[in-house]
């Protein structure tokens, strides 16, 4: 009898205990709203998409016409149309390959393709810079306009050269910064077109004056803005290094 009572009591106790194997653990309520995932490269993707659209617009409206080498197409550039044709092809390659390179570097995918396109970009910048210097020295719009184009060509090949040396020495962060500067100068030809069109629509100055103004502003101002952003992120994103206090040697004397 006692045995039956003990057995029945133990069975009731087992049935009375909750099944912890299926019970969910207690989670405290967090009144704070859940944070949504924010893509850290979202702004960069938007900039690359916009740059790609503007680059394609520039190529179709300003460069494609030079594919037809006729006197009517080249106008006053006809005596040097071979140099302008080479410059247009090289600049187009650099302008179009730039966003692709940034995208591949951002995703860190297909390193072989990234390297091959990078070599083509550097080669096109070299050819485009040399042809730009020749055209600048033989321009019909005055020496100040030619000096602006020469300065842009020198900045173009300098920024690209430093970016190339940096990646050869495996200085990835330095390479990225100088590639950004290089493509800003590459985009200077697009800015030159936008500035001259804006001045023409505003009926400001003559054509030589508009071209002279744009030949300097098209690459110096964007390069200054980008440089301020790059260096500003370094200044405001990190704490300044703590300088160790020097030991007071006078008290030990």
Identify the pLDDT of residue 104: 78
- Whether 35 maps to a domain, the answer reads no
Looking at the structure of the chain, the number of domains it has is: 1
* 27 part of a folded domain: no
Other residues' Cβ atoms within 10 Å of the Cβ of residue 187? 22
- pLDDT computed for residue 253 by the predictor: 45
Looking at residue 44, what is its pLDDT? 75
The structure tokens listed for 88 are: 């247009």
Residue 17 in domain: no
Please give the pLDDT value at position 161. Answer: 96
The answer, yes or no, to whether residue 244 has pLDDT greater than 60, is no
Task: Reply yes or no on whether the pLDDT at 114 is more than 70.
Answer: yes
Average pLDDT over residues 195-210: 93
130 lies in some domain? yes
pLDDT value at residue 133: 95
Q: Is residue 245 part of a domain?
A: no
Q: Average pLDDT, stretch 193-211?
A: 93
Q: How confident is the model at residue 20 (pLDDT cuts 50, 70, 90)?
A: low
Q: Is residue 10 part of a domain?
A: no
* 18-28 average pLDDT score: 51
pLDDT at residue 249, as a whole number:
47
| Gap between the Cα atoms of 54 and 49, Å rounded | 9
Distance CA 69, CA 66 (A): 6
Q: What is the mean pLDDT of residues 23-35?
A: 51
34 assigned to some structural domain: no
State the residue range of the domain holding 81. Answer: 42-236
**pTM above threshold 0.95:** no
For 71, residues 6+ apart whose C-beta sits below 8 A from its C-beta are 78
- Residues 189-202 have a mean pLDDT of 93
Residue 153 in contact with residue 127, Cβ under 8 Å? no
**CA separation for the pair 202, 190 (Å, rounded):** 18
Strand ranges for the chain from DSSP E: none
- Would 9 be classed as within a structural domain? no
Query: What is the band of 82 on the pLDDT scale with cuts at 50, 70, 90?
Result: very high
Residue (of 75, 90, 66) closest to 207 by Cα position: 75
Across the range 33-50, mean pLDDT stands at 67
Predicted pLDDT of residue 90? 94
Asked whether the beta carbons of 200 and 214 are under 8 A apart, the reply is: no
């Amino acid at each position: 009898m006692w045995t039956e009572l003990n057995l029945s009591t133990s069975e009731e106790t087992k049935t009375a205990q909750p099944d912890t194997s299926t019970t969910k653990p207690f989670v405290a309520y967090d009144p704070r709203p859940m944070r949504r995932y924010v893509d850290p490269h979202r702004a960069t993707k938007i900039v690359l998409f916009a740059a790609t659209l503007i680059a394609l617009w520039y190529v179709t409206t300003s460069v494609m016409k030079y594919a037809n080498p006729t006197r009517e197409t080249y106008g006053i550039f006809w005596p040097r149309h071979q140099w302008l044709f080479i410059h247009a092809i090289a600049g187009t390659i650099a302008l179009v390959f730039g966003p692709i390179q940034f995208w591949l570097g951002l995703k860190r995918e297909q390193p072989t393709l990234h390297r091959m396109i990078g070599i083509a970009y550097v080669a096109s910048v070299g050819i485009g810079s040399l042809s730009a210097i020749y055209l600048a020295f033989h321009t019909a719009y005055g020496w100040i306009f030619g000096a602006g184009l020469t300065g842009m060509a020198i900045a173009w090949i300098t920024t690209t050269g430093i970016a190339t040396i940096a990646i050869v020495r495996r200085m990835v962060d330095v390479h990225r910064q100088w590639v950004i500067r290089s493509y800003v100068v590459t985009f200077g030809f697009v800015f030159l077109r936008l500035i001259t069109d804006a001045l023409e629509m505003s009926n400001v100055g003559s054509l030589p004056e508009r071209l002279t103004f744009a030949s300097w502003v098209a690459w110096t101002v964007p390069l200054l803005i980008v440089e301020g952003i790059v260096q500003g992120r370094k200044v405001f994103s990190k704490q300044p290094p703590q300088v160790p206090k020097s030991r007071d040697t006078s008290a030990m004397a």
